[in-house]
């Protein structure tokens, strides 16, 4: 992100996690049939945010803060496969992530949250 004075914020995040899918109406191996599913995922990781002041904001060194992240994804969607293994997937989910930052230069700890809906469309191949 960049401001009109040349300030910039750069974020580098690494996440890992796991989850489960639930197929309430049919087996996930069906072909020529829409396969509805639900999903739940848990994510955790770390992030580093670096603020660099621009030339119009005055001088200053870049400041970096590290945070631990925790997130959840809850949603559902549809899959469709052909007998040759090709398929398409559509899902809609709600994503929530909280970043708990270490104390900054003024000894202030803060939490940044991100949340909202996500819509995904993908092409699949099943071996």
Residue range 91-103, pLDDT digits in tens: 999 999 999 988 7
CA quadruple 50, 6, 112, 12: dihedral sign: negative
For residue 116, how far is the Cα from the chain centroid?
A: 10
Measured between alpha carbons, how far is 53 from 62 in angstroms, rounded to an integer?
7
Q: Which pLDDT score is estimated for 127? A: 87
Residue 107: which pLDDT band, with cuts at 50, 70 and 90?
A: confident
- What's the whole-model pTM score? 0.74
How much helix, strand and coil, in percent to the nearest 5, is found in the chain?
A: 0, 65, 35
Residue 46 corresponds to which tokens in the numbers above? Answer: 């770390």
CA 63 to CA 81: how far, in whole Å?
Answer: 49
């Amino acid at each position: 992100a960049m401001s009109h004075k040349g300030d910039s914020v750069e974020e580098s995040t690494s996440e890992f996690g796991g989850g489960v899918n639930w197929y309430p109406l049919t087996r996930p191996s069906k072909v020529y049939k829409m396969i509805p599913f639900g999903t739940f995922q848990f994510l955790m990781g770390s992030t580093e945010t670096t603020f660099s002041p621009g030339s119009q904001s005055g001088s200053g060194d870049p400041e970096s803060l590290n945070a631990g992240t925790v997130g959840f994804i809850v949603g559902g969607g549809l899959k469709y496969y052909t007998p040759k293994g090709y398929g398409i997937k559509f899902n809609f989910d709600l994503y929530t992530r909280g970043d708990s930052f270490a104390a900054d230069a003024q000894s202030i700890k803060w939490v940044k949250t991100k949340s909202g809906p996500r819509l995904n469309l993908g092409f699949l191949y099943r071996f």
